[in-house]
């Protein structure tokens, strides 16, 4: 924002909330990265760490929401300030859900420990999680710099995640048909791919919210 508020504390409050949101997104990105790494390497200790790390994200969401509610109550924001407050509330909810998906991925990594490994599937999942992290970074850059193009790019990239999820579904089906002993592992992997697909959807939500923040227009689904 070019101009500063006459009440300087208002700027400080808004900046604090935005900084916390960026911090939360960084944490979520790291959680996704680490959970995928744990799955790839069968690293149970790392999966455990990711599971435990989720509470920090939940606490951040709570802090952000409290601050945003306080800002709305005390400063009665208008126009872009109002859109900013609403955006932080909605984005923090999306990020929190993404944190939950990373935690679920870690839980399933532990479950997969004694089951047959499916290397090609793990590779695709790793690619998907890398893509998710890239999209999240992109959309958050769009948020911080009020950059519509970056936000749109993140949204468009979601199609690739959806396509990969569909491909993975077909691939896992063949493994299950091939050998019923694969069913348990494949089911876990199916849930994992679904969770990554849902993460992509959350990024789309964040991107639409950033679009609203910048333009004041609500994008239709």
Q: Report the nearest approach of another protein to the CB of residue 205 (Å).
A: 19
Give residues in contact with another protein (CB under 8 A): 1, 3-7, 10, 76-83, 215-217
Nearer to another protein, 45 or 79 (CB): 79
End-to-end CA distance of the chain: 28
| Nearest to another protein of 14, 152 (CB atom) | 14
C-alpha 49, offset from chain centre: 18
Query: Which stretches within 76-118 are classed as H helix?
Result: 79-111
Contact indicator for 192, 132 with CB cutoff of 8 Å = no
3-state secondary structure of 193: helix
- Closer CB to another protein, residue 114 or residue 217? 217
Min dist. Cβ of residue 217 to another protein (A)? 8
* Contact yes or no for 217/151 (Cβ under 8 A): no
- Cβ at position 81, least distance to another protein in Å: 5
Q: How far is the CB of 88 from another protein (least distance, A)?
A: 16
Do residues 39 and 192 make contact, with C-beta atoms less than 8 angstroms apart?
A: yes
CB of residue 113 to another protein, shortest distance in Å = 51
Task: Output 6 or 45, the one with its CB closest to another protein.
Answer: 6
Residues in Cβ contact with 114 at an 8 Å cutoff, skipping those fewer than 6 apart: none
Q: Which residue has the tokens 């959970």?
A: 35
Which residue, 75 or 198, has its beta carbon nearer to another protein? 75
Query: What are the E-state strand segments in 32-180?
Result: none
Measuring CA to CA, which residue among 90, 30, 80 is closest to residue 54? 30
Residue 108: strand, helix, or coil: helix
Residue 7 or 177: the one with the smaller Cβ distance to another protein is: 7
Closest approach, Cβ 214 to another protein, in A, equals 10
Residues 122 and 40: their CA atoms lie apart, in Å, by 6
């Amino acid at each position: 924002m070019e101009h500063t508020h006459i009440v300087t504390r208002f700027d400080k409050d808004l900046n604090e909330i935005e900084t916390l949101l960026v911090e939360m997104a960084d944490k979520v990105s790291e959680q996704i990265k680490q959970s995928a790494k744990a799955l790839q390497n069968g690293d149970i200790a790392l999966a455990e760490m990711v599971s435990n790390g989720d509470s920090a994200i939940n606490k951040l969401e709570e802090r952000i929401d409290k601050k945003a509610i306080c800002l709305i109550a005390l400063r009665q924001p208008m126009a872009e300030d109002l859109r900013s407050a609403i955006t932080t509330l909605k984005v923090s909810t999306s990020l929190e859900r993404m944190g939950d998906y990373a935690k679920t991925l870690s839980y399933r990594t532990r479950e997969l420990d004694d089951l047959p490994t499916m290397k090609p599937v793990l590779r695709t999942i790793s690619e998907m999680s890398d893509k998710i992290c890239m999209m999240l970074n992109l959309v958050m850059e769009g948020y911080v710099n009020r950059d519509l193009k970056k936000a749109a790019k993140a949204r468009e990239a979601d199609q690739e995640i959806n396509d990969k999820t569909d491909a993975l579904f077909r691939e896992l089906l063949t493994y299950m048909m091939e050998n019923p002993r694969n069913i348990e592992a494949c089911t876990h992997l199916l849930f994992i791919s679904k969770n990554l697909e849902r993460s992509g959807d959350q990024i789309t939500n964040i991107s639409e919210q950033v679009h609203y923040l910048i333009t004041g227009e609500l994008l239709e689904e």
